[in-house]
Amino acid sequence: MRWDDFRRSENVEDRRGDGGRGGGFRFPLPGGRRAGGGGLGLGGLIIVGLIAWALGINPLVLIGGLEQIQGPGMEQTQAPSRPGKAGAPDDKLGQFVSAVLGSTEDRWNEVFSQAGQRYRAPRLVMFSGGTRSACGMAQSAMGPFYCPPEQAVYLDTSFFQDLQRRFGACPVGSKSCEFSQAYVIAHEIGHHVQNLQGILEKVREVQSRMGERERNALQVRVELQADCYAGVWANKQQSRSTFLEEGDVDAALQTASAIGDDMIQKKTQGYVVPDAFTHGSAAQRKRWFMNGFKSGSVQACNTFSTESL
């Protein structure tokens, strides 16, 4: 993946080394009950953290019955972490993240402008270990996630190492892993695009009237659309600068496959429960990324209008 000529985004907040751990929060549980951050007990929180780490989502989702779309009424009992250093970081990893973010800003700005709309760029918070967000505590076990109230992506960059070592998403040390990492960032930016389109708010409202099985099924469509939007970004950037190299797309597809719900369930529990899917199967994630990549069209990413995913 060639990214040296990508514009560096200044919408990066670097909290690595901040050490913002712990922190109380309360969040809604199904049925209107509320619980504090320690309500599950240490053992329960560890289990939730491990499962969320495997799925690459915010553990609050598993505890509160929602996934990435945080409902109103979440209460913070402590102030957010102090702001980190703003702007493109100087180290190679920080430069890479800033470059990919800058590329997504430029390409989505073009897409929105062509539709007569304005693209509002999100903030990306890099952290290590843990930090606080408007959606609750962000920790490395959560994996990357998007926080709608802040219009911000939270990224513990150790997740990139997990892609290689834990999920086997691409060979350790392989240059093609960079596009796998870019795909992860672009997926989260896809959620931001959904937020700007009003999709997340509509889904959250519908999910509030659903049972768990139906909520999960609808969430899968949200996630697959974000995968498709990641493909749209890659298509637009490839048309602009031919940044992809041999093996890059295969590595991204391997990543999409490795973090499919069916693959994660097989690794963590030895069997697959489709009704519990929240992100989609390996085949579905690969298919929808390629839908966006081949077409370069937002219209090709309407996962809500098709029966077969």
pLDDT at 31: 34
What confidence tens digit (pLDDT) does each residue in 235-249 have? Answer: 999 999 999 998 889
pLDDT at 86: 82
The DSSP 8-state label assigned to residue 192 in this structure reads H
Measured distance CA(119)–CA(112) in Å, rounded: 6
What confidence category does residue 75 fall into, taking pLDDT thresholds of 50, 70 and 90?
very low
Average the pLDDT over 223-238 and give the result: 97
pLDDT at 157: 80
Measured distance CA(202)–CA(227) in Å, rounded: 19
Q: How far is CA 154 from CA 15, 117, 128, 139, in A?
A: 10, 25, 10, 9
Among 21-30, 165-174, 209-218, 219-228, the range scoring the smallest mean pLDDT is: 21-30
Q: Residue holding tokens 């989609």?
A: 280
Look at 64 and 256; give whichever has higher pLDDT: 256
Among 3-7, 40-44, 123-127, 204-208, the range scoring the smallest mean pLDDT is: 40-44
Measured distance CA(268)–CA(198) in Å, rounded: 34
Judge whether residue 76 has pLDDT over 70: no
Highest mean pLDDT of the ranges 122-136, 186-200, 207-221: 186-200
List alpha helices for 208-260, DSSP H: 212-241, 248-258
Q: Which of 279, 161, 175, 165 lies closest to 230 in space, CA to CA?
A: 279
What confidence tens digit (pLDDT) does each residue in 87-135 have? Answer: 888 899 999 999 999 999 999 999 999 999 999 999 999 998 888 899 9
Measured distance CA(271)–CA(263) in Å, rounded: 9
Please say whether the beta carbons of 156 and 127 come within 8 A: yes
Could you give phi then psi for residue 72, rounded to 5 degrees? -70, 155
Measured distance CA(193)–CA(230) in Å, rounded: 10
Please say whether the beta carbons of 235 and 252 come within 8 A: no
Judge whether residue 264 has pLDDT over 80: no
* CA dihedral of residues 21, 25, 28, 33 (deg, nearest 10): 120
* Beta-carbon contacts of residue 294 (< 8 Å; ≥ 6 apart): 231, 235
Sign of CA dihedral 21, 134, 140, 69: positive
Q: Where are the domains of the chain?
A: 12-301
Q: What is the mean pLDDT of the chain?
A: 77
pLDDT at 274: 56
Judge whether residue 63 has pLDDT over 50: no
Residues paired with residue 94 on neighbouring β-strands, in sequence order: none
What confidence tens digit (pLDDT) does each residue in 137-183 have? Answer: 887 767 789 999 999 999 988 887 776 666 655 655 566 689 989 99
Report the predicted TM-score, pTM, of the whole model to 2 decimal places: 0.78
pLDDT at 24: 26
Please say whether the beta carbons of 261 and 25 come within 8 A: no
pLDDT at 109: 98
Measured distance CA(77)–CA(57) in Å, rounded: 22
Structure tokens at 46: 């560890």
Could you give phi then psi for residue 45, rounded to 5 degrees? -65, -35
